[in-house]
Amino acid sequence: MSLDPDRRAFLHRLLETPSPSGFETRGQRVWLDYVDEFADEVRTDDYGNAVAIHRGDPDVDTSFAVAGHADEIGFIVRRIDDDGYVRIGAIGGADRTVSKGQHVTVHGDDPVPGVVGQTAIHLRETGEESYDDIGEQYVDVGATDGDEARDLVSVGDPVTFSTTVEELHGSRVAARGLDNRIGVWAAAEALRRAAAADVDATVYAVSTIQEEVGLQGARMVGVDLSPDAVVAVDVTHATDSPGIPEKRRSPVELGEGPVVSRGSANHPVLVDLARTVADDADVDVQLQATGTHTGTDADAFYTASGGTPSLSLGLPNRYMHTPVEVIDETDLRDLGALLGAMAERADDLEDFAVDV
């Protein structure tokens, strides 16, 4: 069994709501409306980081945060040609190899559909083709000239792929923006489970902004909250599909459980807690080596407020930063169960310091 209908519906609402870096407010509203049903308090900061709180036993001094990032990669309108074509730039790590020939939406005052232009194969010089940089690509919104296009869109409008959610065979799901709607889904699920169990620790669920452009939201909220420990939930590469160079392969596979990272930002006490809780809860986990950095909000959280014990907890994901990312819902279900169990056990630890 994968997700129950209510949890799946919430995931789909998140995936169907565009939330490119710097323009996360619509996605944050979906998240806040959901967590408000079981949180003791919800709040946002001036840039749109969102926090939901379960206040535990007032005599227990432990605070535990679970964070995902709300933003997704995309594009931004750089200029509009006099002939009506919309020139774009990248938001975050947009992949220039998958953008041409795709349906997109320009998010102006009203959504404007468009396509990223691709010269027909009949008209191209084939054999020695290369990929145009994002800055050389353009969106065709159907305008006949620049004035008509400027009536529809403006410089600085964000652009996202128009794909949303496709249920694949079994428990597999394909969508744009699974990186990192699964993270904010998991943060909400951890809080829901903590509230239902009335755990003793104070638990924060956090939906950060602008991770894809430099972990900026985590830098803000990590100082503001200053929790005793934080788990940053994000996708990680499943390398079980064809075409991946051997030197890039890891042990991570779809359907084999959440991924506990070890090394760099990942605090040994939190690593041990995650693995122990997983064993006790009969949740399979996979291990991943991150010897230099995790590439997630954990890299910002762990140096906040003089050092905050942090863990990067991943969900296996194929085809990252494309319009067709793929996950297994059973991994996501188990990720939610693991986080809820970690929140219940957080106050068992006297402190998070390592033995030296």
Among 207, 205, 166, which Cα is nearest to 29's?
207
Find out whether 234 is annotated in a ligand binding site. Answer: yes
User: How is residue 179 written in tokens?
Assistant: 């990186």
Q: Which of 72, 211, 256, 329 is catalytic?
A: 211
User: How is residue 157 written in tokens?
Assistant: 């409008």
Is 211 tagged catalytic?
yes
**Is the Cβ–Cβ distance between 74 and 85 less than 8 Å?**
no
As a whole number of Å, the CA-based R_g of the chain is: 21
Residues labelled as active-site residues: 211
Annotated binding site: 69, 179, 212, 234, 321
Annotated binding site for Zn(2+): 69, 179, 212, 234, 321
